[in-house]
Structure 1
Amino acid sequence: MTDTTATTPEAISETTHDATHRQPAAPGVIRWGIVGTGRIARRFAQGLAHVLHARLDALWSRRAESARAFADEFGGTVCANFDALLASGIDALYIATLQDSHAGYAIAALQAGLHVLCEKPATVNRPQLERVLAAARDSQRLFMEAMKPSFYPLYRKLREHLANEPIGEVGFVRAGCSVPGVPADHPSLSFEHAGGALLDIGIYEMFLAVDWLGAPRDVQTFGRLGATGVDTFASLNSQHERGFAQLFCGLDLHGKGDALLMAGGGHVTLHEPWWNPSRATIRYADGRVVELDEPFEGGGLNYETAHFCELIRAGQLESPLMPHDTSLRMIAMADAARAALGVKFAGE
């Protein structure tokens, strides 16, 4: 689900709060900053403790009390405003706010010379993402959308296994998740903050389809809108370069589940919850069954963070596991699905 941190990049009138008496970083240590201190930011900070040669140096949230409590628990200096965070000496910024603010924060950070790891969805729509990627190119800084599944040990082991013992080219993907009982005041239901099932949950399913099937060619969408004007359920049939996908996402039905990858020589089940993958079953057409079991540590976000740090040290500007084209293809699917349902946010 989406983080509940408020998102407007406005200054807060608090004094700097140093919880760690910060010392200069050792050579090779990546100094992180965080904007937003909600649930996903907490998971990031917990995972950062499992990443070698990386540390939390600074943070900012427009909710001063939340920021101070966050620093007391995880360390880091609470900055007086977002500009102070950008100027705090950090190497990389993790954006953990609501999606309507992602583009603005990312562009400002890139222009300030920082590398940016941005929570999903990277932006609300494709034009915003194109502006972010242009800022990354201009500044020669690394930008990556924090789409976590592909970095998990299970997902990487599955890729390796299928390369060595293939089932053929995957031609069909089925995946979905729907979570009922979302409180009426939750940001996922906020039109103002660009909420809705497609951007909050469906972006995961879109990643899976794009990652295995390539660029979308056609997206057909059925769904419904809730009282606030955002989509509360959507069902997508999509055609891609290399096959077809059936995806669903919702905020009013119960549908947490697995994912299915089908090919000519067998199929793969990514067991629930597939977006935090730890188990997979591969069933070959000849009857052979292979079980993969790869537990994860640190909450899971540590794997994408470690990868991002490695890219910084190597001077890379794009991830081979989560390239810019994947983000562009995902948000293009979301744009098409929202257009079909008539969901258009302010400024679009």
Structure 2
Amino acid sequence: MIRWGMIGCGNIARRFAQGLEHVADATLTAVWNRNTDKADAFAREFGGAVYAELEALLRSDVDAVYIATPHTSHARLAVQALAVGKHVLCEKPAAISVAELDSVLAAAREHGKLFMEAMKPPFYPLYRKLRDHLAADPIGPVGFVRAGFANPGVPADHMLWRPEMAGGSLLDIGIYSAFLAVDWLGPVQEVQVLGRLHGGVDAFASVNVRHEGGIAQLYCGLDLAGSGDALLGAPGGHIVIHEKWWNPVRATIHYADGRKVELDAPMIGSGLNYEAAHFGALIEGGMLESPIVTHAHSRSMLTLIDAARAGLGVVYPFEV
């Protein structure tokens, strides 16, 4: 039984706790949030003992923690948890920069604990089904990825508009597209970006990326509407992962010979149960790194985001 501790009790924490109900051999045993009333309400709904102090939760008998706090605290909390011997599954982005991520990975190596970025898409049944189908009926190596999403409904007082909270679209929405590009095309070689800033954060970004295996066209935004599908192009055809592709449940493969294959794979639970089950299996197997969301994969994603931020001139106040 993997005993989980929850750090943070916002919306994504709720989805993770809902997902744990669908994971065998996993239980939520500890909860912490800066607002104790919020933690109490969370524990009443999902279980677990409430800890008034984070240090007390980390001294408890939890095996792993899920970090579900704002971006700016991810690296610090991950290092703190790893240092006291806890395995860490950290919500995306794993850090706000490659430099921050490297400090986390160094702590994981030093203390011999598992660390993984909670990047959910590759664990969904549809994504796995697509990989399996292409292995059996290939279209050749993917050389082009087009993906993005823009959401004009972000309230003016949301933390994504606040530079001191590492706001902007790139780290929040764009990290998903960065994952897809890296997953199919490999390491980043060159990044070109155009975009708009608002109040010191990226309100919209259009990013062209040269990868080791091809080219990606990515976009993300907080003040425009944009669809959430994705396209993967290869010599023998192309794939459309339908909206919202980061919660993938349906894809269409268009073969160059005229065939069209529809793939459907509904999710169960909240969708975060798949990454939680994978993480638990890694712990049970004594693994220190996921073979699916590798440390190198997370570094490549942030390499892309770092370069895009630099090209737009996005510098957070705490980085000056």
Common fold: TM-score over 0.5 = yes
Q: 1:318 aligns with which of 268, 289, 314?
A: 289
Q: Which residue of 1 aligns with 2:42?
A: 70
Return the offset for 1:299: 1.2
Q: Which residue of 1 aligns with 2:87?
A: 115
Q: Does 1:30 align with 2:10?
A: no
**Deviations for 1:235-282, whole angstroms, at most 9, x for unmatched residues?**
000000010000000000011321000000000000001010000000
Query: 2: distance between equivalents of 1:67 and 1:322?
Result: 29
**Deviations for 1:161-189, whole angstroms, at most 9, x for unmatched residues?**
10111000000000000000211111111
Q: Which residue of 1 aligns with 2:258?
A: 287
Q: Which residue of 1 aligns with 2:205?
A: 234
Q: Which residue of 2 aligns with 1:188?
A: 160
Report the RMSD for the aligned CA atoms in angstroms: 0.7
Q: Tell me the secondary structure at the aligned position of residue 44 of structure 2.
A: helix
Query: 1: distance between equivalents of 2:36 and 2:205?
Result: 36
Q: Aligned runs of 1:1-348 on 2, under 5 Å?
A: 29-227=1-199, 229-348=200-319
Amino acid at match of 2:228: G
Query: 1: distance between equivalents of 2:260 and 2:74?
Result: 43
When normalised by structure 1's length, the TM-score is 0.91
Identical positions, percent = 63
Return the offset for 1:65: 1.2
Unaligned runs of 5+ in 1: 1-28
Contact kept in structure 1, 2:96 and 2:171, CA below 8 Å = yes
Q: Tell me the secondary structure at the aligned position of residue 164 of structure 2.
A: coil
When normalised by structure 2's length, the TM-score is 0.99
Which moves more between the two structures, 181-190 or 291-300?
181-190
Query: 2: distance between equivalents of 1:185 and 1:257?
Result: 24
**Deviations for 1:260-319, whole angstroms, at most 9, x for unmatched residues?**
000000000000010100000001100011110000011100000000000000000000
Query: 1: distance between equivalents of 2:135 and 2:8?
Result: 39
Moved over 2 A (4+): none
**Deviations for 1:23-46, whole angstroms, at most 9, x for unmatched residues?**
xxxxxx000001100000000000
Query: 1: distance between equivalents of 2:305 and 2:256?
Result: 34
Contact kept in structure 1, 2:164 and 2:318, CA below 8 Å = no
**How many aligned positions are there?**
319
Return the offset for 1:226: 1.0
Unaligned runs of 5+ in 2: none
Query: 1: distance between equivalents of 2:213 and 2:56?
Result: 47
